[in-house]
Structure 1
């Protein structure tokens, strides 16, 4: 066998192994997703088994615990949008349209996306680290031995908590982002508060909020699912926790961008 032919065979073998590995991951994702859906069904029938106190702690950590960083990031993003927009709009004598720019961009896109990215780096990473640590300590195996489903006990509370809290954080992020835009508009453009808020209200429509809220629901589910998925897939060694956390954050952020692109295409097709 020639060297060139051997190299081609090795390359094809490596490609095949890569494809099989991706298919295996896809199968694991589909399996966990199905188990989560079944667990939600059992919860609705009152048959799900999980610690209510732990679920409430997850809700607090996912919601109120994230207010500080969500406030800071969205305030700065709103201010940056207003500043960059003002620099360009002032060239055409249209500085008053900064309010329209900030309000639409914040409500339709930035508040949901930025909040989801923050939650991926904060809450999604925490979910992955917690479950990966339990995996390493064989606590997940102990739950199975006791007849308790790890999906119901660990995954379900986290997925529901973040899915329900993300739209609330999105609404809060919209208000904070508009406040950041108002601060720059008032300071840089001498735009009156009444004009800024009235133009913002006129520019926004109910469909903008529906689109943003729908995105935030999908983002919350994705971030929580990614964190739990990689936590459950973690190995038993010391490096497994860090690897699971890194994978959860990266896959969460990439997934958020992909879903946002899908929403953008759907909104364009539906003329929303």
Structure 2
């Protein structure tokens, strides 16, 4: 019995769009692509400075939760100082990158999808094409570049917030000296952990930007289409982040990082 065939549009459209983004990036490096500098500046601000409050709050709480859960178990064995090990490794390798990426999926990826879907519904994308302006390098590339470059910086900031949250719980619940906690964190936290988190954040940034823009540009030309595109962007981005993170975990384990 023959297997059912998948719709070609389901596979061809995303791959084609990814190819267009990559070609636009190559064209930008060669000085042949035209992007919107105004969009790049605006989106960079939205994706960095204005995202700091929520990134700070969420990662501070995540670090506190990790420290609290670890302290409950480790204090039974008189190993409370190793809470710093738990929080440092977990935050640097996994939580700072993943939690920040999930926050950006709901905050920035959804905004990209809604904005481009609204432009599609208002036929602004068609107007760009009539004027001879390719919407992929002009509209998509600034958004992808902003997340590609700024999410690693947000990851570093999220690491600091998570470590501070863990230190607050360690000093308050376990009566650990803040200096001892930070010294233990500095000993256990190697460049391999931070490097893995940075690479993850770069990939997550590209994923969120591309998915959000793809969903926006391929939305239906009505109000319901804008809502569906926004929802699809958030869901696909979050699932993609989790899948990519699991692949990174498998690869890191295979190479011994």
TM-score, length of structure 2 as denominator length = 0.98
Distance in 1, Cα, partners of 2:85 & 2:21: 40
Quote the residue 1:136 is aligned against: 121
Deviating beyond 3 angstroms after TM superposition, the runs of 4 or more aligned structure 1 residues are: none
1:90 to 62, 70, 75: 75
60, 63, 67: which one pairs with 2:45? Answer: 60
Alignment partner, residue 186 of structure 2 = 201
Q: Structure 2 residue aligned with 1:80, among 59, 62, 65?
A: 65
Structure 2 residues without counterparts, runs of 5 or longer: none
Deviation (angstroms), 1:216: 0.2
- The aligned counterpart of 1:5 is none
Secondary structure of 1:20's counterpart equals coil
Number of positions where the alignment pairs a residue of Structure 1 with one of Structure 2: 257
For each residue in 1:57-99, what CA deviation from the matched residue of structure 2 results, as whole angstroms up to 9, or x when unmatched?
1111111111110000000000000001000111111111000
Residues 196-255 of structure 1 deviation map (CA, whole Å, 9 limit, x = unaligned): 000000011111111000000000000111100100110011101110000000000000
1:239 lines up with 2:224 in the alignment: yes
State whether residues 39 and 139 of structure 2, in contact with CA within 8 Å, keep that contact through their aligned partners in structure 1.
no
Match of 2:97 among 109, 112, 126: 112
Give the aligned CA root-mean-square deviation in angstroms.
1.2
1:23-57 deviation per Cα after TM superposition (whole angstroms, max 9, x unaligned): 42221111011101110111111121122111111
Determine which of 161, 181, 202 is the counterpart of 1:217. Answer: 202
Matches within 5 A, 1:167-206: 167-206=152-191
Q: Which residue of 1 aligns with 2:6?
A: 20
Instruction: Tell me which residue corresponds to 1:161.
Output: 146
1:145-183 C-alpha deviation (Å, 9 max, x unpaired): 111111011110000001100000000000000000000
Matched residues in 1 for 2:6 and 2:66: separation?
A: 44
- Structure 2: distance between partners of 1:108 and 1:166: 15
Partner Cα distance (2:40, 2:144) in 1:
10
Equivalent residue number for residue 49 of structure 1 = 34
Task: Choose which of 238, 241, 247 in structure 2 pairs with 1:256.
Answer: 241
Q: TM-score, normalised by structure 1?
A: 0.92
Once the two structures are TM-superposed, the CA of residue 20 in structure 1 deviates from its matched residue by 2.2
Partner Cα separation in structure 2 for residue 65 and residue 37 of structure 1? 28
Between the aligned partners of 1:47 and 1:63, the Cα distance in structure 2 is 27
Q: Any stretches of 5+ residues in structure 1 without a counterpart?
A: 1-8
